[in-house]
Structure 1
């Protein structure tokens, strides 16, 4: 018999059923169903017999059929509203993803990762969310008046935001205090004796970017020369380079910089080095995130620690609790952001 004929024969073989498992294990069909559905009140001996029977008869649960009964897909979406390039570059997104996936895996849920870059992506994602293919969503980097937010709330999908856009209504969210973190790291920079401190302010169209700018402004007494703030689009290395060039052009004597992310700070450091400015001798530089970028910098970067993995896990837990019928926790969940002081300032 040829290999292909053998494969065809195997594929046509009757699929093992719950009845086959029950017969092999010597238990009732109901007992098998209880084990498959994760219910308790089944003896350890029966569970062991059922597990052995499943392996022997080659039983594979019919997930599609089960989903029709439960009205659940068994999948949670992680929606990242960022350009594709930043999804690869930003280690915080990877850490959020891993934290969320760990929590969902423990609860036997599958995570579906969805990236919304262009308007076309957003429209396609809105249609996808409307198709009932996901039981809930975790949303990263939502903007104010984000169309994805509107779709999620209209569908009443169990959801948790990482961050706190002002228009998310009563949805669950997990966040850090970006204002306090930015204020504290800027104050530490001021305490080193710097006299002319600027900021490379990224992502001002979302709560994290706007809040970090607010914290920087508060640390300087609320009166900041607008020319000492370079606004850039993304938390990216290249935007950090562009922002630092802008600040040096306006203020060649600048002696301190708060970069609104570690990736932005890394870009700023390279521009300062190319311009012959030593760090921290001529210019003190601080960042935000305590990501892998911070340790790649030379010198290592003083920064605010953002617990990205824990944010992902907490957001996944919030969605899972909603699926179990628990109410959304009022006021959101806030995680600590300690300062990590290194050699760059």
Structure 2
């Protein structure tokens, strides 16, 4: 003989033990008004029978999953290495948690991942999505638009008519490069990362603005990712091509940290020989020696604002796509 599965307690069990109607129990569970005595009796009965609300059944009736996807379009290594993504995720989760929503994290690292995530979204497993690092002509963006899913982007992908939260990448890059030039640097290059998305192209545009007539395309080294390894490799190539380089704007702090390593390997002193600045004010900026001058990007604030936008859409806000720009002050340290 095998023991039978334990029967799940129901609202009827709670009502029977509490001595009230099923409707009174439902009002308590849904935040409605009942007398203090009835509420106390129901809460005691819930503990006594071990009742756990069937969230799946309730959500089926409401046609809601009470979950929001957090979609990151980055390789797994960058997802783990980049503290900005982690901070954006924490900000998103905090805002969703306060609204009693679950966050479902989905990492897109390949074409196969793209197809898998698109199928998942199509299956109706989430009510909305926060999307980080979307690219131009991104299949996930296309899938979200086709499903009419409430969404907010961290960053502003081109030709996307949806809510987004971001920073003025172009203006901030111009400001930090201008500050670098004011230290007397005359041969300033850039390690330009992620030019397949808006943040990368805008940071390169800001660097170009700051240099004006002094801009030299031969002093720009392009890399695919905001990663330490890409920064190290790009810095070595820049030095080989322009040994008289005396200043560098790296498109992220992780890239700048890799560049610092390459400069040290080449026997260049920072900031005496080469001044370097980054972007993000992430934990990379304070791990390096010397610490990085950089742009302060409010990563947790970006995630929280994106989540708030999705939640507003789920509550019926039909005001249309909006763009929210957060401040990005320059933080000056010893690297320049």
SS in 1 for 2:33: coil
* SS state at 1:326 partner: coil
Report if the CA contact (8 A) 1:75-1:136 is conserved. yes
Alpha carbons of structure 1 residues 289 and 45: separation in structure 2 relative to 1, 3 Å: farther
Alignment of structure 1 residues 79-158 onto 2, 5 Å: 79-158=71-150
**Which of 323, 327, 330 is residue 336 of structure 1 equivalent to?**
327
For residues 171 and 325 of structure 2, the distance between their equivalents in structure 1, rounded to whole angstroms, comes to 12
In the TM superposition, residue 75 of structure 1 has moved relative to its aligned partner by 1.0
Change beyond 3 A, Cα 1:47–1:179: farther
Aligned residue for 2:235?
A: 244
TM (norm. structure 1) is 0.94
CA distance 1:55–1:227, change in 2 (3 Å) = same
Aligned counterparts of 2:160 and 2:35: Cα–Cα separation in 1: 46
Q: Distance in 2 between matches of 1:271 and 1:172?
A: 39
CA distance in 2, matches of 1:315, 1:222: 38
Return closer, same or farther for 1:317/1:45 CA change in 2, 3 Å cut-off. farther
From 17, 29, 53, the counterpart of 1:24: 17
Matches of 2:304 and 2:319, distance apart in 1: 16
SS of 2:208's equivalent in the other structure is helix
Helix, strand or coil at the partner of 2:212? coil
How many residue pairs align between the two structures?
A: 336
Q: Cα gap change, 1:43/1:335 in structure 2, threshold over 3 Å: closer, same or farther?
A: farther
In 2, Cα distance between equivalents of 1:338 and 1:49:
55
Equivalent-residue separation in structure 1 for 2:324 and 2:19 (angstroms)? 48
CA contact (8 A) 1:172 1:328 kept: no
Name the counterpart of 1:70.
62
CA distance in 2 between counterparts of 1:336 and 1:44 reads 48
Shift in alpha-carbon separation, 1:166–1:45, aligned structure 2, 3 A: farther
Task: For 2:251 and 2:303, locate their aligned partners in 1 and report how far apart those are by CA, in whole Å.
Answer: 20
Change (3 A) 1:103 1:331: closer
Q: RMSD over aligned Cα, in angstroms?
A: 1.6
Give structure 1 stretches of 5+ with no counterpart.
Answer: none
Residues 185/44 of structure 1: CA separation in 2 closer, same or farther (3 Å cut): farther
Deviations 1:250-276 (A, max 9, x none): 110100000000000000000001111
1:189 to 180, 197, 222: 180
The Cα shift of 1:133 comes to: 0.7
Residue 107 of structure 1: CA displacement?
Answer: 0.9
1:159 has 2:146 as partner: no
State the 1:46 CA deviation.
4.2
> 1:19 offset after TM fit, Å?
1.5
Q: Which runs of 5+ in 2 are unaligned?
A: none
Following superposition, the deviation at residue 167 of structure 1 comes to 1.6
TM-score (norm 2): 0.96
Within 5 Å, which residues of 2 pair with 1:231-270?
231-270=222-261
CA distance in 2, matches of 1:58, 1:324: 32
Q: 1:223/1:51 Cα in 2 relative to 1: closer, same or farther (>3 Å)? A: farther
